[in-house]
Amino acid sequence: MTEIFTGSFTQQEPIPQEGIEAAIAVLNHGRLHRYNVAEGEFSEAALLEQEFAAQTGAKYCVAVASGGYALACSLRAVGVQPGETVLTNAFTLAPVPGAIASIGAKPEFVGVTDELVIDLDDLEAKLGHAEVLMLSHMRGHLCDMNRLMQMCDAADVTVIEDCAHTMGAHWRGVPSGRQGAIGCYSMQTYKHVNSGEGGFLITDDEEIAARAIILSGSYMLYERHLAAPGPEVFERVKYTTPNVSGRMDNLRAAILRPQLRDLETQVKRWNERYDVVEQGLSETPGLKLVKRHPNARPVGSSIQFLLLDWSPKAVNAVISRCAARGVELKWFGGAEPAGFTSRYDSWRYTEAERMPASDRILTGIVDMRLPLTFSLDDCALIARIIRAEVGAVWQQHSV
């Protein structure tokens, strides 16, 4: 009998009861705006920032409306001007080049390897083209951060880390986002904590932090932050930093605080699921698994594999056959953007040179979410289905 998977690839776990109760308390008192506080009270947003700064070991943290806003805010905070070039990954999601374009800057794309990380040799060749690298840890894959930071420091290139897929991940025991000047995170529903939308940026640089807080829409209420520099730093930047409002509100902050406290447990659960799927797909003919760097502790909230040098017809056959058995796969190699999948040649608001070696990789990437609503048995079943359907198409493809 043919096995069918009946679960949902978009169903998240419920918000923890502690978060629900905290949200109800905010709704009952009605002070949703982060700067609307009672006498002697610290807002949920300020407490959230303080807790995430402590969790990551950062001096400063700013909670904002989305991960994409955190990226654009970071670019402004480090002084990127319209018309300037910002380096970023060819393999990323649209909000990353979108953040660069949103401030009038120009993305220049750096290649991807078969480990789905930024190509450090290509980066080295392009470091002289820009003063900022927006490094996307796309789908949780961490490159050799020691080599990358040595190269960027030597070239005086500021690194902004997009950690939308690496909240809770580590590089050599250090939280992802702590190598660059700024780490940016997302709390959108399909990330590692869920408030629907939301973002963080963390930094140890006091002027970057002060600019980011003013940019986010603090007016002159920055003393109501708990993970912020002193007032003398704001005095240096307050007249030259625009308000580009994108604040976190207290309702979302209340939902997030208990989730962050439980993040390490959730990371272990994701990695258990990833390991089951990875083991089930190992040595599948025609399918290449993605090698993780030994110095990285990732978060396996999704899994990718490569169907390298397969024809579009054959890849689409795998996608369709798996879908018929309840397994939802996304393909980054499609000629047209679909859902969240798109490539650097899809973003026609910027000019991009072709990168044949990277195109080969991008054309082969197949992506799948691993929500925590899946059991380990679900993951084993999903792997069996993918393995069977890849094998069936591979046999036809090879003839």
Provide the pLDDT for residue 336: 84
Catalogue the E-assigned strands of the chain.
Answer: 60-64, 85-89, 106-110, 132-136, 158-162, 170-171, 174-175, 182-186, 199-203, 288-289, 296-297, 302-306, 330-331, 365-369
First to last CA, the chain: 26
Q: Judge whether residue 398 has pLDDT over 90.
A: no
The whole-model pTM stands at 0.97
Q: What is the pLDDT of residues 6-64, one digit of tens each?
A: 999 999 999 999 999 999 999 999 999 999 999 999 999 999 999 999 999 999 999 99
What share of the chain in percent tops pLDDT 70? 99
Q: What is the pLDDT of residues 171-189, one digit of tens each?
A: 999 999 999 999 999 999 9
Q: What is the pLDDT of residues 102-118, one digit of tens each?
A: 999 999 999 999 999 99
Q: Judge whether residue 385 has pLDDT over 50.
A: yes
- Count of CB atoms situated within 10 Å of the CB of 14: 10
pLDDT category of residue 136 using cuts at 50, 70 and 90:
very high
The mean pLDDT of the chain is 96
Q: What is the pLDDT of residues 209-234, one digit of tens each?
A: 999 999 999 999 999 999 999 999 99
DSSP-assigned letter for residue 12: P
Q: Who contacts 157 (Cβ-Cβ below 8 Å, separation ≥6)? A: 87, 127, 130, 131, 132, 133, 151
Average pLDDT over residues 373-395: 97
In terms of DSSP bridges, do strands 85-89 and 106-110 run parallel, antiparallel, or are they unpaired?
parallel
What share of the chain in percent tops pLDDT 90? 93
Provide the pLDDT for residue 399: 40
Provide the pLDDT for residue 1: 62
Catalogue the E-assigned strands of 163-289.
Answer: 170-171, 174-175, 182-186, 199-203, 288-289
Q: What is the pLDDT of residues 265-311, one digit of tens each?
A: 999 999 999 999 999 999 999 999 999 999 999 999 999 999 999 99
Locus of tokens 């120009």: 106
- Count of CB atoms situated within 10 Å of the CB of 391: 15
Domains and CATH numbers, the chain: 17-261 (3.40.640.10), 263-398 (3.90.1150.10)
DSSP-assigned letter for residue 118: B
Provide the pLDDT for residue 351: 87
If DSSP codes are grouped into helix, strand and coil, which group holds residue 90?
coil
